[in-house]
Structure 1
């Protein structure tokens, strides 16, 4: 079984949390028994999370050696220049080493669900959206990449993993997809 889940902002990519007070987890969304996340998505990121009951499939989906492309829409502070986008396309140097080249382009403001809490709006600071496609999966990689080129991320939504996407799924909704 393979499940596409639109993970809401603030929800952990796991079924339990031992912190006090406990934070929202996947357990609150009526997902089928026996599935677990194939990879992670930070609590402050939203969007596509794949879940499965098949261990080898989970490994293929999440292991960087299999180079599954992951597509993100990032709302960034500032206006992306061609130079900044070219640096993302070439790969940037992070504290844990250089990233592989990414696909990067500016996109029009996407039609998305409102985020709760909303991203803070500032009249004097412009923001824009970029689409990044990466094949790695380092901790907070997209946020660190955009910051490295002077475009801090304000909102991050994963919209695709390989051929799977979140089209038609509202936050907290899920559907079974074909492998």
Structure 2
């Protein structure tokens, strides 16, 4: 039986159900059938949306770069980010991928006028009174290893906190870290593969 759900992966949790070194995994938060795995990954130190499924077709379409699915990230960076830095991010920057330099594809970048309302992180970001931070929204259509972190570092604003907010029309709007929502097959394919220009909010 095909199974679909979205989850909000907490900070410092592996995007898998087993660990050989004692780190927390998805199994510490979510109970799913044994043949269900994450379609794609988030870094251990990143948070946000993961799709869990045993549907091989959906998994293939979601991970195949030729489909260029939008992935929206909310990124807190170290320092007051400049317009120039955001422009450079949009146009593409050079990052190291598997020992080779790679030019990132053009993407969409915009500042948050006020910090977004997001769940508290445990442990929290270290507060430094005299050094500001900024929140930006980045919408990518590719997903190289630790790409967002490498990109913001390349323009001089290291990432402090990284949350994947949505993939296509599927978002974590109504979820808290450690929560999940089961989807029907129709919902999963609609949210992930249709209506690129009109992101819907997923309600619990």
Report the equivalent of 1:112.
118
Listed as ranges, the matches of 1:13-162 within 5 Å are 13-19=15-21, 22-33=22-33, 34-95=35-96, 96-107=101-112, 108-162=114-168
**Displacement of 1:176 after TM fit?**
1.6
How far apart are the structure 1 equivalents of 2:31 and 2:56? 17
Q: Secondary structure at the match of 2:90?
A: helix
Residues 2-33 of structure 1, C-alpha deviations (whole Å, 9 max, x = no match): 211000001000010112xx110011223321
How far apart are the structure 2 equivalents of 1:126 and 1:145? 19
> TM-score of the superposition, structure 1-length normalised?
0.96
Listed as ranges, the matches of 1:153-172 within 5 Å are 153-172=159-178
Q: Secondary structure at the match of 2:62?
A: helix
Considering Cα pairs closer than 8 Å and 6+ residues apart, tell me whether 1 or 2 has the greater RCO: 1
Unpaired stretches in structure 2, ≥5 consecutive residues: 189-204
Could you say what the CA RMSD is over the residues aligned between the two structures, in angstroms?
Answer: 0.9
How far apart are the structure 2 equivalents of 1:132 and 1:86? 12
Residues 36-60 of structure 1, C-alpha deviations (whole Å, 9 max, x = no match): 1000000100000111110110111
How far apart are the structure 2 equivalents of 1:2 and 1:129? 31
**Displacement of 1:126 after TM fit?**
0.7
> TM-score of the superposition, structure 2-length normalised?
0.84
**Displacement of 1:161 after TM fit?**
0.6
Q: Secondary structure at the match of 1:61?
A: helix
Moved over 3 A (4+): none
Give the aligned length.
177
How far apart are the structure 2 equivalents of 1:38 and 1:31? 16
Unpaired stretches in structure 1, ≥5 consecutive residues: none
